[in-house]
């Protein structure tokens, strides 16, 4: 949910963008209907939608497709009373919803808005008439049967892995799977007393036994291939070595046969890692007297992605965990989309939710997965720390796909991170995302950095200030919403391991100024209009703010802005008259 201070900051942006652009999974703007009955119905519907989507903020009294604060903020009438609206929502929802409804004074419109803060609870929620929607990205979509089913999964009420298997435990187990499970847990420094337990005591300590029966969570982590095939027929894995998008040259399947023994999760992980690493080259990086080895796909990132796929798959879908290894990329996908309002745009910091809670609980006891949603962050960190692009996460609704680009380790970047750690500055994912972005771009502003790091702008501003003032990595320019940051030249040179970055940056800026000035002069001589901001952006590859600064520098060369709005142009106002206006002698 959004605090009132953040809502005020967002309202200030309505002179640049419409409210629809500002909306998100947890934020919506709605105009207050003229009919009070329709207004109450709208508030009830939005409360249901947000509650089913994990909670959020609805700002009532704002048109969402109008640019200009004065036009967009129409307000709510005096008859719209917060306490009564809260009561109306309570009476018209099932289960009962009790959102906070706060009044926000504004100078525009009627002078007041209502901000409805809806807490996520135990969905599915509906109106008392039985209607319901759920928040998906920026839309409220009908709460259909499959979405109701997904909400039940998110609440843990349909945890397939918690179901007990009606056979003797000993007949279901694979000794190889249990020993591999112990090995993996030992690598992650799981409690030694836990690993010393007998097989049955270990499974009991992991809570995967129910009344003396093995649950399907226990079957997944310690079951034999034949038992898994009988009781979890949809579970499996496939690895394909791809030649092209439609052709593979080699394939292995976790169901190659009941004697294969590579279907239980610990053995599946081992088999998949071995196949991927067969074409996962190692780069040696020298740092002082030491030689360090780094794989194209880092071991930590690879394991986190595979464990995520294996423990968050939807076991009701007849589809395997699928790994496609291309010459230049690696794709890991599992059946079942993201749950609980998690999206690729908020997954880094969203509270954790598990599709298979009991399975995740057991693996977390062994420290193989983290219940605090650190797994995705560890994937990002493992790639970024080597100067590589982070993985791309794609939600296809029926599946989640994680894509890694095959990249070489950047020795200068890796050495910098190591040296900073020795100096007591441990960089997290936010810092590294910003540094890596600025290696390929001249600058970054707060809004773009917030989107990149999946943070709110207030949080991101503090992080950027820290990188500039405390760490000394960045230079800051501009004021207010025009504030921007860029890498200090010395750090830019160090991270890229190349020549004088300050000189290169200066030369690039000089080339851009010269090119734009010459074009404006030539157009002036021909009697043609100048260039718009958009046209200068197309010529230089600059952002709008960069163009504004460039033109400001060209004012000394007689470049002026004429006109208003999108039709405004930059004109050369000095020198000789246009050719077509010269008089002939």
In this structure, the dihedral spanned by the alpha carbons of residues 137, 138, 143 and 149, taken in order and rounded to 10 degrees, is 10
DSSP-based three-state secondary structure for 403: strand
Q: What is the DSSP letter of 62?
A: B
Taking alpha carbons only, the member of 300, 28, 52, 47 closest to residue 152 is 52
Query: Domain limits of the chain?
Result: 4-143, 169-405, 411-496, 502-581
Rounded Cα–Cα distance for residues 268 and 12 (Å): 52
Q: What is the pLDDT of residue 112?
A: 96
Residue with tokens 């690879």: 302
What is the H or E stretch that residue 203 is in? helix 199-205
Q: What is the pLDDT of residue 151?
A: 65
Rounded Cα–Cα distance for residues 73 and 69 (Å): 6
Rounded Cα–Cα distance for residues 345 and 453 (Å): 9
- Residues in the chain where the model's pLDDT stays below 70: 122, 146, 149-158, 256-261, 287-291, 371-374, 479, 481, 498-508, 575-585
Q: What is the pLDDT of residue 583?
A: 41
At 170-187, the pLDDT tens digits run: 999 999 999 999 999 999
DSSP 528-568: ---B-HHHHHHHH---HHHHHHHHHHHGGGTEEEESSGGG-
Beta carbons of 156 and 68 less than 8 angstroms apart: no
Domain 4-143 and domain 502-581, same fold? Reply is no
Question: Phi and psi (nearest 5°) for 536?
Answer: -65, -35
Rounded Cα–Cα distance for residues 195 and 187 (Å): 11
- pTM of the prediction? 0.68
What CATH code is assigned to 411-496?
A: 1.10.10.10
Query: At the top level of CATH, which class does the domain 169-405 belong to?
Result: alpha beta
Q: What is the pLDDT of residue 157?
A: 56
What CATH code is assigned to 4-143?
A: 3.30.950.30
- Bridge partner residues of 444 (DSSP): 485
Rounded Cα–Cα distance for residues 80 and 103 (Å): 10
At 239-277, the pLDDT tens digits run: 999 999 999 999 999 875 444 557 899 999 999 999 999
What CATH code is assigned to 502-581?
A: 1.10.10.10
DSSP-based three-state secondary structure for 253: strand
Rounded Cα–Cα distance for residues 451 and 18 (Å): 18
């Amino acid at each position: 949910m959004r605090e009132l201070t953040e809502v005020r900051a967002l309202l200030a942006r309505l002179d640049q963008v419409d409210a629809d652009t500002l909306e998100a999974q947890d934020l919506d703007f709605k105009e207050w209907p003229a009919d009070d009955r329709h207004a109450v119905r709208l508030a009830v519907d939005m409360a249901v939608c947000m509650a089913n989507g994990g909670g959020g903020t609805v700002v009532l009294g704002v048109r969402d497709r109008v640019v200009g604060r004065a036009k967009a903020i129409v307000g709510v009438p005096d008859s719209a009373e917060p306490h009564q609206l809260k009561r109306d929502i309570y009476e018209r929802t099932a289960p009962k919803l009790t959102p906070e409804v706060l009044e926000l004074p504004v100078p525009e419109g009627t002078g007041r808005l209502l901000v409805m803060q809806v807490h996520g609870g135990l969905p599915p929620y509906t109106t008392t008439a039985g209607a319901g929607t759920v928040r998906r990205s920026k839309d409220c979509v009908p709460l259909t049967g499959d979405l109701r089913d997904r909400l039940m999964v998110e609440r843990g009420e349909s945890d397939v892995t918690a179901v007990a298997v009606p056979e003797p435990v000993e007949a279901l187990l694979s000794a190889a799977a249990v020993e591999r499970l112990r090995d993996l847990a030992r690598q992650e420094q799981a409690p030694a007393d836990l690993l010393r337990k007998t097989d049955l005591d270990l499974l009991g300590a992991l809570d995967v036994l129910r009344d003396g029966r093995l649950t399907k969570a226990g079957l997944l982590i310690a079951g034999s291939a034949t038992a898994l095939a009988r009781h979890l027929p949809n579970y499996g894995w496939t690895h394909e070595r791809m030649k092209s998008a439609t052709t593979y040259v080699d394939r292995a399947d976790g169901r190659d046969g009941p004697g294969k023994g590579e279907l239980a999760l610990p053995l599946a992980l081992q088999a998949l890692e071995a196949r991927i690493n067969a074409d996962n080259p190692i780069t040696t990086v020298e740092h002082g007297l030491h030689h360090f080895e780094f794989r194209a796909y880092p071991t930590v990132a690879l394991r986190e992605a595979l464990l995520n796929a294996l423990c968050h798959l939807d076991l009701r879908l007849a589809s395997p965990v699928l790994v496609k290894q291309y010459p230049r990329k690696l794709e890991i996908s599992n059946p079942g989309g993201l749950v609980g309002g998690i999206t690729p745009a908020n997954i880094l910091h969203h509270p954790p939710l598990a599709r298979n809670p009991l399975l995740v609980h057991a693996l977390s006891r062994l420290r193989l997965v983290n219940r605090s949603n650190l797994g995705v962050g560890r994937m990002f960190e493992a790639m970024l720390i080597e100067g590589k692009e982070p993985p791309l996460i794609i939600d296809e609704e029926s599946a989640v796909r994680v894509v890694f680009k095959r990249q070489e380790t950047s020795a200068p970047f890796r050495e910098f991170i190591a040296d900073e750690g020795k100096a007591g500055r441990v960089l997290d994912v936010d810092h590294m995302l910003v540094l890596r972005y600025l290696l390929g771009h001249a600058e970054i502003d707060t809004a773009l950095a917030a989107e990149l790091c999946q943070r709110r702008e207030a949080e991101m501003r503090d992080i950027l200030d820290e990188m500039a003032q405390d760490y000394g990595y960045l230079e800051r320019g501009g004021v207010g919403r025009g504030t921007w940051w860029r890498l200090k030249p010395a750090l830019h040179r160090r991270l890229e391991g190349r020549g004088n970055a300050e000189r290169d940056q200066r030369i690039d800026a000089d080339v851009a100024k010269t090119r734009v000035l010459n074009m404006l002069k030539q157009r002036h001589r021909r009697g043609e209009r100048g260039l718009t901001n958009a046209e200068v952006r197309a010529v230089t590859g600059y952002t709008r703010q960069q163009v504004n600064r460039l033109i400001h520098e060209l004012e000394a060369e007689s470049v002026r802005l004429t006109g208003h709005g999108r039709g405004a142009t930059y004109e050369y106002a000095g020198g000789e008259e246009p050719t077509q206006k010269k008089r002939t002698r």
